[in-house]
Structure formats: C-alpha cells, structure tokens
Amino acid sequence: MNQNITLPKDLLLLNVLFATSIVVANVIAGKIVAFGDNFMVPAAVITYAFSFLFTDIIHEKYGTKQAQQTVLLGFVAQVFASVMILVGQFLPAAPFAGEAQAAYDTLLGQNLRFVLASMAAYLVSQHVDVYLFSKLKNSTNNKHKWLRNNLSTIPSQLIDTSIFITIAFIGTVPNIWIMIVSQFAVKMVIALLDTPLFYLFTRTKKGQHKVDLSNEIRA
C-alpha cells in the first residue's frame, strides 16, 4: 500500500464542498420556507440537494470506494458540528447577551428529533445514491452519464425527504405530506438542472484518463 498518496486538488475541494453543504443544511433545516399556502420546504432543501451532485462527481471521477469514503467523512462532519453546536449552546452567556443566547437557541438549538432525522436520512439516502450510481454505471458500460446521474439522485432524494420530514416534523406541522411532496419536487428540479454541471465537472480531455483511487485510498 502506498503511504505517500497525494489527493487531487479537485477531490479535496469536492469533499470540502460536500461536508459544508451537509453541515450548513443541518444548521438551517429548522426554518420552514413557504411559497403560497400549499408549498412549504425547509430552508436546507437547496443546499442539501447539491450534496448528491458532489458525490456523483466524485463517484464518476474517482470510483465507488472514494464516494463511500466521502459519505462517511460527511457523517463525521455532521456529528462533529452537532456536538460543537451543542457545546456552544450550553456555554454560559454573558450577562448582556441574553437576546443573543435566545437567538442562538432558536436558530441552532435543534432538538434531538432534528439531529436523528438528519443523520438517519443522510446515511440511508447517500448510500442508496452511491449504490444506484455504481449499478447504473456498470449496467450501461459507462455510457449515458445523464441516466446514472438522475436515476441515482432522484430516488435517493425521495428517500431522504421522506425519512427526514417524517422524523423531524410529524405531529408539528399541519400537513406533513405537503412538506414531503414540496421538498421532493424542489430537489427533483434541482437534480435535473444540475445535469449539465455533472457533465461539466466530469468531462475528460482528449488523451486524459479518469482516476480511480478505490484501491489506493482507505478510510
């Protein structure tokens, strides 16, 4: 095993963007955005939707094992961020910062349901995405990139939305099905629209070969 492997810069950047999108999505998930009377989604919907694009790009360029490692690292980032936010919440506030503490509790002091909902949805949906992408890539002999990009992401987004909304909001919102359908609709549109970005960031120049780090990198 080679101990002196240097990760490509774009792989490092993609992992950073992936982890950032996951952490930010968890932070802003408590805000419910309403477009009219019947279209409600958590504010995290757009940020989190892009995480599937990042894993698909990593999967396409660097292989299944690297995509799985990215998912694992993203989970570690979630746990670390949640613990640090909790520690910050329980640190004693300055006497003059009572309003700031209240704002902190409102924005970042998510209850256990949100944490469990986020982590459960993440673990299931991201692993489903990687699994479907790998199966579709092999079954199409590496052709039809748009197919594996969308047919792995869209079902995974539905699973993610259903798990997260159900655990996080059941019993607290008027109609949970509206939230599930609304959020999934937004995610599906984003998944379709980001296909050109997937092609852009996974293109290979003439004479250039894709790099598969599956056998070199270990978690």
Tell me the average pLDDT of the chain: 83
Domain ranges of the chain: 9-202
Half-sphere exposure of 85 (CA within 13 A, CB side): 21
pTM for this prediction: 0.82
Residues pairing with 33 in the sheet? 41
Radius of gyration of the chain (CA): 19
Q: Mind listing the pLDDT tens digit for each residue in 22-69?
A: 988 888 877 778 877 767 777 888 888 889 999 999 999 999 999 999
Q: What is residue 49's DSSP assignment?
A: H
Structure tokens at 212: 């598969």
Mean pLDDT along residues 152-156: 93
Mean pLDDT along residues 204-219: 52
Structure tokens at 109: 């002091």
How far, in Å, CA of 202 to CA of 58, rounded? 9
What class, spelled out in words, does domain 9-202 have in CATH? mainly alpha
pLDDT bucket at 205, cuts 50 / 70 / 90: low
Q: What number of helices (H) and strands (E) belong to the chain?
A: 8, 2
Q: What is residue 31's DSSP assignment?
A: P
